[in-house]
Amino acid sequence: MSKTSTIASIILGASIGVALVKYYSMTEEEREAFWERIKNITDELLDDAEHTVEKLEAYFDEIKSKGEDNLVEKLYVVKKMLKDLFKMEETIF
C-alpha cells in the first residue's frame, strides 16, 4: 500500500468514526429526520438522472431524424446537448 493510500485510509476511517459518534449522539427524532432527508435527496438525484436520460434520448432521436448527411447539424445538436446538460458557457465551445 502506498503512502498516499495509507493517509487516505486513515482520513476516511477518522471521518467514518466522527460520523458514527455524531449519529449515535442524535436523538431518535433527529435520526428519523436525518434518514428522511437522505431519502429525499436520493429521490431527487434519481429524478434528475431520469430527466437526464430522457433528455439524452430526445437529443439522439433528434440526431437520427436529421439524417446521415447533416454532420454539421449533428455536431450542433451534440454541442447544444452538452451545454444544456452541463450548463456550460458559450465561450467554452
Query: CA torsion, points 64, 70, 72, 76, in degrees to nearest 10?
Result: -30
Give the CA count within 13 Å in the CB-facing half-sphere of 81. 18
At 59 the three-state DSSP class reads helix
Q: For residue 15, is it within any domain?
A: no
Domain span holding position 73 = 27-92
State the total domains in the chain.
1
Tell me the pLDDT tens digit for each residue of 51-89. Answer: 888 888 887 777 777 665 566 666 777 777 777 777 666
**Does residue 76 fall inside a structural domain?**
yes
2-30 per-position pLDDT tens digit? 888 899 999 999 999 999 999 999 999 99
Q: What is the rounded distance in angstroms from the CA atom of residue 64 to the CA atom of residue 70?
A: 10
